[in-house]
Amino acid sequence: WPDTGKLKVKAHYRAGQLHGLVEQYYPSGALQLKHPYAEHRLHGEALDYFENGQLKSSVHFEHGVQSGPFKLFSADGKLLEEGVLKEGVRHGPFTLYSPETGQPVRQGTYQLNELDGEVITWRPDGLKVVGTYEKGLAHGWQKIYNAQGALLGEIKMQNGRATGVFHVFDAKGRIVQEGSHGKTADELFRIITSPRPQTNDPTPEENGGIVIKEIFE
């Protein structure tokens, strides 16, 4: 760096091409990256750093293309995401983490950068949503659990949209409300997560009532 006189880049060449480890530095002299090259293409584990010295990312390359496991970190060292890349896009299992707590907030699988299969989401309010995806869109039952692991309800999705079909369960796992109408997924979510009778309260059936069914156009 001309202004500081500190080393900016250290690299190895073979036959005029980058070959071996390349190290680049911030103007302060702190290490910015360590990238391995083979025949002028990134090949191996590429490491990038924040100026405070914390690891920013770890990404694997194969002959210049992002392929293999990767990890992303926050400036204070917390793991934010880990997964797998194939030809530069997310492909395979992944986990996202909260930058505040470091706990998982989402986990699932990508197929060529689209969510596919089971996806688990942990919400800040303690609820857990387990759903299925096809080609990046929610498709099938999205199940909602409370912090204790009890199933509160489920919403049926099709191609990323709520079909309107939903079930609400009591503490014993019995359906106490169900419906089929044009409400959005967010509206149905609020219905399912609204306050529930306590475990020792009689259910509609036990109290001589009936299960609530809502069917609207």
151-179 pLDDT, tens digit per residue, is 999 999 999 999 989 999 998 899 988 88
Cβ neighbours of residue 29 closer than 8 Å, sequence gap 6 or more: 4, 6, 7
Cβ neighbours of residue 173 closer than 8 Å, sequence gap 6 or more: 150, 151
Tokens standing for 212?
């609530």
Does the predicted TM-score (pTM) go above 0.75? yes
Section 80-98 average pLDDT = 97
CATH number of 1-99: 2.20.110
| Number of residues assigned to the chain | 217
The rounded distance, in Å, linking the Cα atoms of 31 and 8 is 9
Listed in sequence order, the DSSP H helices in 104-195 are 185-192
For residue 185, what pLDDT band results from cuts at 50, 70 and 90?
A: confident
- Domain limits of the chain? 1-99, 116-217
pLDDT of residue 211: 35
For residue 196, what pLDDT band results from cuts at 50, 70 and 90?
A: low
pLDDT of residue 207: 40
Q: Considering only 105-109, 191-195, 199-203, which range has the smallest mean pLDDT?
A: 199-203
25-78 pLDDT, tens digit per residue, is 999 999 999 999 999 999 999 999 999 999 999 999 999 999 999 999 999 999
Among 141, 122, 123, 144, residue whose Cα is nearest residue 132: 141
Among 76, 33, 38, 92, residue whose Cα is nearest residue 57: 33
Q: Could you tell me what percent of the chain has a pLDDT over 70?
A: 89
